[in-house]
Structure formats: structure tokens, C-alpha cells
Chains A and B, each alone.
Chain A
Amino acid sequence: MNTDASVTSQASVAALNGPRWSAVGNVITIAKRELTGYFTSPVAYVFIVIFLLLLGFFTFMVGRFFQRNEASLFAFFMWHPWLYLFLVPAAGMRLWSEERRLHTIELLLTMPVTAWQAILGKFLASWAFLAIGLFLTFPMVITVAYLGDPDMGAIFCGYLGSLLTAGAYLSISSMTSALTRNQVVSFIISVVICLFLILAGWPPVTDLLVQWAPTWLVDLIASFSVWPHFETFQRGLIDSRDLIYFILVMVFSLFTTGVIIRSHRAG
């Protein structure tokens, strides 16, 4: 066999560039593959079309966007957590279960990458995909800007809150998809957990709890809820507590993803 000297030397050069750079490189490579994966299958297009159609339906028909006569996107953003409840688990369910079903996880994790790089790369790719879907709602912004004089800062905050909510749900989907090689099971568990995050702070649910649970427990459960944090962003505020909430959910879920993957490998 012709040993290709330049190939080997290039590999060692990359290795010498330091662990930090190669870590970033690995995350980017994995993310790139994952994101391309979305767009080479019809899943991405179906997903985006459904997302936009449903969002349009809820905003205009149910949210009565025009009748509100407001130059704000409140009627638009209020539906996001509910839509994400189903759409984000659908986008995230394949993240790890597909790797396990195809056994490509064995290929991926025997490459010189750490499990964290793989988890992060895949997560960021899915998140970027959701961000693309969200970006395609820009005609809404143009519409309110044309019809009135909206607070662009508030709209930006709304998008940021929406994106963070999507990220939190997605990290949970990543966790549940590591649990099983069955995408449907992954999807259902993920929806249930996300539903809990929505309902935990919802009055009908907290009222139910108040009757028998101590106050601290009700508060604790309510503090898991995504709603109050999402709403702060909708009011045009960026509060560090809300940012921390979303970041904690993501870090915790991705960390748990790593623990689950590790325990599978340990057999």
C-alpha cells in the first residue's frame, strides 16, 4: 500500500493544533453533518411547512391578530410554546435514537471525539434547524412594521425567548432520544416532559396542587415552568434569572444525555 506521507503529517499537524481547536472543529463537523442530514430528507421541509402553517393559523384565526389592532407580535408569540410542544420533540427524536438504531453511534464514539462534543454538535445542529424555521416567520415582523410602529426591541426579545424555549425543549428531546432506539417512544416521553414544563406553572394545575401539597412544593413545581420565563421575554425584558433558567434546563438535559449514553456503553 502507498503510505501517503502528506496525509499522515497533516493529521499530526491537526493534532498538534491543540485540543481546544480540535474540540471546536469536531463540534462543527458533527453539527454540519447533522444539519445536512435534516435537509437531505424531506423531514426538514415538511417540518418547516407545518410549523409555518400552524403558526399562521393560530396567529390569525385563533389569536385574531388583525382584530387586536396592536402593533405587537403578542398574538404570534403566545402560541410558540404550544407548537413547540409537538414540533420540537418531532425534530429532536431522531438525534440519538437514530444513531442507536443504525449503530452509527459505535462509529461516532470510536472517533477521536468526546461524547460531549458529539452531544453538543448534534444539539446545536437541531437548534440551528429550529432557528431557521423561526427565521422564516420574518414576514410577520414585516407585516407589523408595515401596519404600525412596533417596538422592535420587544420583538427581538420575543424571538430570543422563543428560541430559548425551543432550545430547552430540544435538550429534553435529546435526553429522551438517548433513552431509546425507538423514535416514537422518544417523542412521547419528550412531549410529556415538555407538557409538564408548560403546565407546572399554569393556574388550573397549581390550584389542584394547592389543595393538598405544602406551599414550598407548589412553588418548587411552579418554578419548573417555562411560562413565566417565556412571558418576561414577551414583555420585552431580558432578565438574567430567565436566561439562567433556560441555560440550566439545557445544561441539565444535555448532561443527562451524556450520562444515559455512558450508561448504555457501560452495558
Chain B
Amino acid sequence: MIKVENLVKAFGPKLAVNGVSFTVERGEVLGFLGPNGAGKSTTMRMITGFIPPTSGRITIGGFDVVENPIAAKRLIGYLPENAPAYTDMTVMGFLRFAAELRGLRGAARDKAVERAIELCFLESVRHQSIDTLSKGFRHRTCFAQSIIHDPDVLILDEPTDGLDPNQKHEVRTLIRRMGEKKAIVFSTHILEEVDAACTRAIIIDRGRIVANGTPQELRQRSEMAGAVTMRVKGPTAAELRDRLQQLSTVRKTLFVKEDGPGLCARVVPSPTALDGQLEESLFDLVMREKWRLLELKTEEGRLDEVFRSITLPDTAPSKKE
């Protein structure tokens, strides 16, 4: 549905987006991650046809966004950053306006408005003026606008920004559910959302894609991926460290410390170890030494760690492009 090829956007000498390519098919929810100013919003603005790309090509359902903008825009629902809305309108008035611009008239319009109000839990504020709404309601009103015509493509720029935890959960559930039938791109800098709602994630930094894969694949890139944390009773710290170092399945021991019951240790598997081999050898070690095993846990790797390791912090000196 969404095809982005070699997208470049220059603001003066600065390249905000530099050679971004990806595709999103129906049934996919693509998480768009990256630090602030990485080029997420700029990319989304180009996909939705708000700003023209400096070079590169975007097609939505086969329609080129630059050459055939109206046909492409018909397929898109868009929630811009900070959820703008006409503050002098009521929620109903605003949604009706959006529906009419989407070509819905009469009964079809009213039906679409009702459906969006229901999906976004706006029933209690439907006659309220938008400037009197709380941030969460205002955000959901703008979100409702984006899904009013049941679009095939949804572009959501930070859809959970400014919502409380319950509302965040609702929006994520909604995105995941709608993602079964649509192609969705949403940006966020909250990593847990990637796990909660995405089928795939792209990490973008300084205008370039630095990682692209399923949330699991991204986690695999973490140093911690596959590491095992064990908690045993019996040995001393030195003894445990010594025994762990002797195992061929262990590349290194990250720490051995006393906290809580027994000793806690974390080891990283050697690159040659197959899945499960490390855990097996650790269990054997415990049996052989007649220690008591309290806990054995395989780490999945953490997204925030991956994120930190492949994106540069804002404070880092910027590289010359």
C-alpha cells in the first residue's frame, strides 16, 4: 500500500530526510522510531502530501503522491503531530467537516461520524467545543478525524502523545486491531509501544534508516539478547564466578552479586552456543555442584538498549553530511 523510495528532504543545506526507503503492506503496522528531530514527522508529512519531497518517490496504493495527490490523499487518514483541530468547532461539527471533505454526504456522513465517535470514546464530549477539551479528548478527536472514512492507509504522528496510561492502552489496542485490515505507519519515541502494537519497526536517526525489522529481530541486536540471569544458593561469589568461566558455553560473566536470596549472576552465551545450550549447561553445573537453583531466566534483549546503541544522542557533535 505504501511505497517509499529514496526519499530525500532538504531544508536549506540541512538534510532532514536522507535516502529513506520502505514499504508497508495491508495488515502491517509499522512503528517509526527515532530520537526527536530524526526526520520522523518530515517523512510523514511527505507521505501525506503536505510537503513535497526534494527527491524520491512515494506511492500510496499505486498513486504517486506528487503527481496524483488527490487520489493518494483519498486513501490516507492522517493524524498530524500535536493533533491540531479547529478550536472553535464542536467535536461533532469538526468530524462532520472532515467527513464532508472526504466526500461523505448525508446519511453516510452521519454514520461515519457516529462510528468514529464510538471508536474513539468521544460520546461524552460530542457537543463540546474543542477548545474546552482536555488534551486527551482533543487528541482522540483528531484521531477520530483520521479514521472517519475508514481509510486503507493510516499515518499517525505520535498518536499516544499526551494521553494517560489507560488512553494509551486503548489507542494501541485500536491501532493493532485496525492494523489487521489497513497499512499503518505510526511514529513514537515510546519503545514499549512498538511491542504493544507493531508488526515491524524502523529506527530512523539523522534522516537515515538505521534499523528495520520485527520487534523481535531488533531486540536480537541487543547485547543482552540471549543472556541468562541465574539465582543460586550454595556457592560463594568467587566460587560461582570461577565455575561459570570454565563453561565453554559462556562468553563472559557480566556480574555476580548478592542481592536478595542467594547469589545472582548474569552470563552472556558464547557465539558458538546453540539456543538452549547455555541454559542446559548452567542447569548441569548446578546439579553437579549440588547447589540450589532459585531462578533461571533468559533475557530477550531490550529495545531501549538497541535504540540507544544505534542512535546518537542529541548532545553528540553532529557529523558533517
Contact = CB atoms under 8 A, between A and B. Distances in A.
Interface of A: 1-4, 6-8, 10-11, 14-15, 19, 22, 25-26, 29-30, 33, 36-37, 40-41, 102-104, 106-107, 109-114, 265-267
B51 A267 contact: yes
Contacts of A110: 48-50, 73, 76, 78, 80
Nearest to A113: B101
Interface in B9-68: 9, 11, 45, 48-52
Interface stretch (B81-89, B211-219, B261-269, B312-320): B81-89
Contact of B51 (A7, A11, A103, A265): A265
Given A103-B82, A106-B80, A113-B101, 8 more contacts: A1-B180, A1-B181, A26-B101, A102-B87, A104-B85, A107-B84, A112-B73, A265-B51
Contact of B149 (A11, A25, A33): A11
Contacts of A4: 111-112, 115, 150
A7 B104 contact: yes
CB-based closest 10 A-B pairs: A14-B103, A10-B108, A103-B84, A112-B73, A29-B100, A110-B48, A111-B101, A106-B80, A112-B74, A104-B84
Contacts of B273: none
Contacts of A25: 100, 103, 105
B178 interface: yes
Nearest to A22: B103
Given A33-B97, A265-B50, A7 B149 contact: yes
A193 to B, nearest CB: 27
Contact of B45 (A1, A7, A37, A106): A106
B103 A112 contact: yes
B93 A36 contact: yes
Contacts of B101: 26, 29-30, 111-113
Interface residues of B, number: 48
Contacts of B45: 106
B198 interface: no
Interface of B: 9, 11, 45, 48-52, 69-71, 73-74, 76, 78, 80-82, 84-89, 93, 97-98, 100-105, 108, 111-112, 115, 119, 129, 142, 145, 149-150, 174, 177-178, 180-181
Given A3-B150, A41-B88, A11 B103 contact: yes
Contacts of A30: 101
B104 A11 contact: yes
Given A111-B98, A112-B70, A7 B88 contact: no
Contacts of B112: 4, 7
Nearest to B76: A110
* Interface SS majority for chain A: helix
Contacts of A1: 119, 174, 177-178, 180-181
Contacts of A104: 84-86
A19 B112 CA distance: 22
Contacts of B97: 29, 33
Given A4-B112, A15-B74, A112-B70, A33 B105 contact: no
Contacts of A111: 73, 98, 101-102
25 contacts: A1-B174, A3-B150, A4-B111, A4-B115, A7-B111, A8-B150, A10-B108, A11-B102, A11-B104, A14-B105, A15-B103, A19-B70, A25-B103, A29-B97, A33-B93, A36-B93, A40-B88, A40-B89, A103-B82, A107-B85, A107-B142, A111-B73, A111-B101, A112-B70, A112-B73
Nearest to A10: B108
B117 to A, nearest CB: 13
A10 B111 CA distance: 11
B70 A37 contact: no
Contacts of A41: 88
Contacts of B174: 1
Contacts of B102: 11, 111-112
Given A109-B50, A112-B102, A3 B181 contact: yes
A6 B102 CA distance: 14
